[in-house]
Amino acid sequence: MQFIQNNLLIIGLILVSGAMLLWPTIGRIFFGRKQVDVQEAVLKMNHEDAVVLDVREENEVALGRIPHAKHIPLGQLKNRLSELEKFKAKPVIVACRSGHRSSGACGILTQNGFADVYNLAGGMSAWEQANLPVEK
């Protein structure tokens, strides 16, 4: 018990960091968020006319993005949902650098009536590791 009292801050940091690592899994289980890997994303883009939404910041997108992806930074998404209204009937694949921010964006889209929303597992990092095309 003395150890816990002396190291409360460290224990708190461990718990918070663990929760952050598990957040995508928690989102899928409790909030019904769907996830696709890069191969599934490409299939949805090619066969289901899926729209890709990149929620990274401008400086990240400048380094490269998925070809034809729509760019709306996560912080602006709620105010710019009207730009995506015409895509409500299509699958929407949301991407960020690693898949964490895009998970939050999936929640925003789902809450606003987008029914077929997917988080790109691993984000742009996974896309680039798979040597898929990047547009600058």
Residues serving a catalytic function are 96
DSSP 34-53: EEE-HHHHHHHHHHS-PEEE
